Structure 1
Amino acid sequence: MKTHTTFFRHVTATCLNPAGWLYLLGILGYAGHACADDITLPEQLIGTTQGFLEYAVEDYVSKTNIEGRTEIEVNTLDPRVRMPLCDTQLSSKLQSPAEPIGRVTVKVSCEGSSPWTVYVPAQVHLYRTVVVITRPMQRGMVLDTGDVALRERDVSQLNLAYITDIDQAVGQKLARGMVQDQILGPVQLERAELVHKGDSVVISAQSSGISVRMPGEALSDGGMDEQIRVRNENSNRVVKARVTGPGQVEVSM
């Protein structure tokens, strides 16, 4: 017992390197700390990662003109991590992915006389105002203004594109069923055909304050704002017209 006590005092007096500390502390069951002046603490690694990501995210958002707000969350490191004190300034680099959004890994390195590298995981949240569905909807349903709304959501983990403009959604048809509050993306939309070939349509024309309406027949399918061929039933002439709604087209004069 006396031998172990003498040996322990010798260790604390000489302040072993971090690797030696972890080995000896594991053997002796001691919960103390190595000399703080000779190690790089986990808190320092987290602080370095936080500072690097703040700069990287700000630069990324500025260059890409993304509107939104960001939050950075650096993962807690194992408190037993004790890297040797670096005699140069720590360097940081984004290890993965290519952009500092979502789940990221930052490479923190010491390039001094005793080089080492630690990989620090973090999460960069990106909150943007996006279009969401306001009620459960089935495939094939056409979106109206009441079916969609703008909400702030964390899009950092999304694997698919999303929509930020309600006008891009209204009048479109759902390609798959969706639940309430689900974020809407282009992949979930398809063109809604408001006019079908053979449909009776109302042809409208305006010029100098004069509005003319006449019956017609659609000669092709068409969605909102699409140009289709229609036959004027009064003159039997075929003209190109823009779809303005179900059974409604407009010709230029």
Structure 2
Amino acid sequence: MRQPTRQRQARQRPMRLVIAALALGLLLAPAVVGADTDTLTRRVTQLLSQQAGELGEVIGVSVHAPSAVLGQCDDPQPFLPDNGQRHYGRVSVGVHCDGPGGRRQTRYLQAEVSVRVRYVTVTHDLNRGSVIARNDLHLAQGRLEKLPRDVVRDPQAIVGQVAAAPLRADTPLRAYQLHARDLVKRGQRVTVIARGAGFEVSREAEALDNGAMGEQVRVRAGNRKILRGRVTGPRRLAIDF
């Protein structure tokens, strides 16, 4: 009866050795991967901080650990995929690695980037059609990844524009809520200045469209001819030849 027991033990001994080797490998692997991950995380953080720093004050970069254990990654070189993604909020980052035997590999990680910026609000409620003045505007601070994509950040850029909808105080001002103020209105008598090499001619015409600064507007001249001019000011258009 003892001999079969010894035989079973002899057969089990190689299996125990295999299990012990696997356990030892799992204990050692995190140390190797951890060293690579530290370098990888540092370089990814540097890249994202540099890119997002052009938008505002970077207040946090969190690189997510890969879902699977990665192999060797020597000299990691992170890059941002050219996929039109934002450089804040949840970001995908590619990493070029030198793997075993010098073989080049590419991996992808996820990260969260938080950026603090200044954005525009109105100091008091404004009705639809109100013309925006500088003293109607206030700069607030917030996290860019929490704000609408079309939030207005430059107050000077919207002075003179018109509220396309009612605006509520202390809420982020969005680009779609504004439109440029019409400097030329349909049916108005306007001054059209035709300019070319060595000449400039001014005449009056009737505007057939509304138009803001820089927009193209149709006008009817005295001879009933329809022309197109560029709005350059209140009731003024230019035609360049």
TM (normalized to structure 2)?
0.53
Cα distance between partner residues in 2 of 1:8 and 1:133: 73
Query: SS where residue 89 of structure 1 aligns?
Result: strand
Residue 27 of structure 2 is aligned with which of 18, 31, 34?
34
Structure 1 residue 70 and structure 2 residue 63: aligned? no
Residue 107 of structure 1 aligns with which residue? Answer: 94
**1:40-95 deviation digits (Å, cap 9, x = unpaired):** 13x8436524423424542675xxxx4631234224326x6322234x32232222
Cα distance between partner residues in 2 of 1:60 and 1:141: 35
Structure 1 residue 11 and structure 2 residue 19: aligned? yes
Cα distance between partner residues in 2 of 1:39 and 1:55: 23
Shift of 1:196: 8.3
Contact 2:71 2:99 in 1 (8 A): no
Cα distance between partner residues in 1 of 2:65 and 2:91: 15
Cα distance between partner residues in 2 of 1:130 and 1:8: 64
Cα distance between partner residues in 1 of 2:18 and 2:81: 41
Query: How many residues are treated as equivalent by the alignment?
Result: 183
**1:15-46 deviation digits (Å, cap 9, x = unpaired):** 576xxxxxxxxxxxxxxx531377413x8436
Cα distance between partner residues in 1 of 2:12 and 2:99: 36
Shift of 1:194: 9.3
1:64-103 to structure 2, matched below 5 A, reads 66=54, 68-77=56-65, 81-86=68-73, 88-95=74-81, 97-98=83-84, 101-102=87-88, 103=90
Gaps of at least 5 residues in structure 1 are 18-32, 199-218, 225-241, 244-253
Instruction: Percent identity, please.
Output: 20
Letter in 2 for 1:73: V
Shift of 1:10: 3.5
Structure-2 change in CA distance of 1:131 and 1:10 (3 Å): same
Residue 45 of structure 1 is aligned with which of 37, 44, 58?
37
Contact 1:163 1:185 in 2 (8 A): no
Structure-2 change in CA distance of 1:5 and 1:128 (3 Å): farther
Q: Going by fraction, where is helix more abundant, 1 or 2?
A: 2
Query: SS where residue 40 of structure 1 aligns?
Result: helix
Query: SS where residue 83 of structure 1 aligns?
Result: coil
1:1-253 to structure 2, matched below 5 A, reads 7=15, 10-13=18-21, 33-36=26-29, 39-41=32-34, 44-45=36-37, 48-55=40-47, 57-58=49-50, 61=53, 66=54, 68-77=56-65, 81-86=68-73, 88-95=74-81, 97-98=83-84, 101-102=87-88, 103-113=90-100, 117-156=106-145, 158-160=148-150, 162-164=152-154, 166-192=155-181
